[in-house]
Amino acid sequence: MRKIVAIAFILTLGLNSYAQVSDMFRLGLSANPFVSFLGSNDPLITPAGANVGFHLGFDAELFFGPAAIDEKNYAITTGFGIVFNNGGALTHTDGGLLWQSKDLRTPLIDATGTIVPLPDGAKLGYKMQMLRVPLGIKMRTNEIGYFRYFGHVPFHLDIRTQARGTVESSTINTDNPQNINGDAGLLNLSWGIGGGAEYSLSTGTSLVAGLFYHNGFLDVTNNKGTQNSTQGVTAEDSKTIINALTLKIGILF
């Protein structure tokens, strides 16, 4: 009898805890196409093209406040995701040994394994894959018909898992992307701002669509290369950041 009472007590406690948690959490999935582009603090290194990429995310929202979840309007957001083809392209007015990755292949190295200098005006393209951990704050309106409208300020920590690069220049061009992990930074930190709408399908379940702009903080290149300038051979020590415009499409439940 005591065992039955104990089991019943544990089940009751568990169900009560789940009910409390379900009034705080929402989980979801999102598929987010984006356009990313690079910027540099060096006036002799200029943007030269954008990447069309894709972010697949698992989303979690932790609402706070005394009301039931359908009546809460403020949430802390987090989750994780995978980002494909992040980056862009840059034109370097001054050429040189701009990439130093050990995995470079011809035509970026010659028959002896020596890196070939790039000419002035070379266009370098970056294609990066990243793991993403977001953290942000979300504010939404009360339900208006079947819709809620929201504003969202997310911060992203990205961990680079792969970097590929291409070169277009007057003398050297790559037919296929090359491994440039040694010339790409491991981490990227960015912040964003955006907004959109939730469409209620049922209690606690919504379709979500929004538009976001993201701005990077950290240098996404390792600056191991050198460039030829009027001062001679100098280190290529510019800061390169990633900016992006993202369309968020997802479901929360």
The domain ranges of the chain are 24-252
Question: CB–CB of 153/192 below 8 Å?
Answer: yes
Q: How far is CA 52 from CA 33, 35, 112, 247, in A?
A: 7, 5, 36, 12
Per-residue pLDDT reduced to its tens digit, 129-180: 999 999 999 999 999 989 999 999 999 999 999 999 999 999 999 989 999 9
Rounded distance between C-alpha atoms, residue 249 and residue 253, angstroms: 14
Question: CB–CB of 177/165 below 8 Å?
Answer: yes
Angle at 27 between CA 21 and CA 32, to 5 degrees: 160
pTM of the predicted model as reported, rounded to 2 decimal places: 0.86
Percent of the chain with pLDDT over 70: 89
- Residue bearing tokens 């470079």: 104
Per-residue pLDDT reduced to its tens digit, 14-49: 434 433 445 688 999 999 999 999 999 999 999 999
Rounded distance between C-alpha atoms, residue 78 and residue 61, angstroms: 6
Residue 100, token pair as written in the block:
């130093």
pLDDT at 12: 36
Per-residue pLDDT reduced to its tens digit, 96-107: 999 999 899 999
Q: Any idea how long the chain is?
A: 253
- Residue bearing tokens 């929360």: 252
Q: Name the DSSP class of 120.
A: T
- Which comes out higher in pLDDT, residue 71 or 218? 218
CATH number of 24-252: 2.40.160.20
